[in-house]
Amino acid sequence: MKAHFMMFAHYNRWANERVYRAARLLSDADFHADQGAFFRSFAGTLNHILVADQIWMRRFTGEGPKPTRLDETLAEHLDQLTALRNAEDARIIAFVEGLDEAALLTPLTYGPLTATGTFTQQLGALLAHFFNHQTHHRGQATALLTRLAGQDAVEPLDLAVFQRASGFGVVPN
C-alpha cells in the first residue's frame, strides 16, 4: 500500500509541474480573471489546491501552515505560488516516504473547516482522499487553461503517462 501512495506523491509533483509550466503561458490578467470556476480564477484554483494540501499536511504531521479558509490566497503571483507549490510537493513526498505500512492503518481524528464535529479515519483512506482532491481540482485548472491558452496548453496529465515516464507500476517486458 505504501508503494501506491509513493506513486501518487510523485505523480502529484509531476502533474503540478506540468500545470504550473502551462500557467506561464497566461497573462497576469488571465491568471487572475474570474472564469466562473468554483474558486473563480485560475489563480484561485491553484491557491485552493495548495491551501487544501497545507490543511491536510498539518493534520497528518501536526506541523506547517494552518490556513483557515478554503479560498485563502497564499500568493498573488505565479512565481511565489510556484515556490510554495514546489516546497509543499517536496514535503508531501518526504512525508509519504517516511511512512510504513502500519502507519497507513493508523486512525487519525480531525475536525473539518466546513463542518462541525470530528471524524476519525485511517491515514491510508485520508491519503486516498488527499491525492484524489488534488486530481479533481487539477482537472478544473486544466479546463481553465484550455479555455485561456488553447487545447494543447497542458501536457497530458494521465497517470499512465506518468507511470511510463517514471517507471512506477511498469512491468518490464
Quick check: 67 and 55 in contact, CB under 8 A? Answer: yes
Quick check: 39 and 48 in contact, CB under 8 A? Answer: yes
Residue 114 confidence (pLDDT) = 77
Amino acid at 173: N
Confidence of residue 35 (pLDDT cuts 50, 70, 90): very high
The answer, yes or no, to whether residue 8 has pLDDT greater than 90, is yes
- Class at the top of the CATH hierarchy for domain 2-166: mainly alpha
Residue 116 confidence (pLDDT) = 86
Residue 75 confidence (pLDDT) = 96
Q: Which three cell numbers, joined as nine digits, stand for 30?
A: 488571465
Distance CA 168, CA 58 (A): 27
3-state helix, strand, coil in the chain (%, to 5): 60, 5, 35
Distance CA 46, CA 23 (A): 10
The answer, yes or no, to whether residue 140 has pLDDT greater than 90, is yes
Confidence of residue 92 (pLDDT cuts 50, 70, 90): very high
Q: Give the model confidence (pLDDT) of 63-76 as tens digits.
A: 999 999 999 999 99
Nearby residues of 137 by Cβ (< 8 Å), 6 or more positions away: 45, 48, 49, 52
Confidence of residue 57 (pLDDT cuts 50, 70, 90): very high
Instruction: Give residue 63's Cα distance to chain centre.
Output: 18
List residues bridging with 40 in a β-sheet. 37
Residue 153 confidence (pLDDT) = 94
Provide the pairing of β-strand 107-110 with 119-122: antiparallel
What is the average pLDDT value for the chain, to the nearest integer? 95
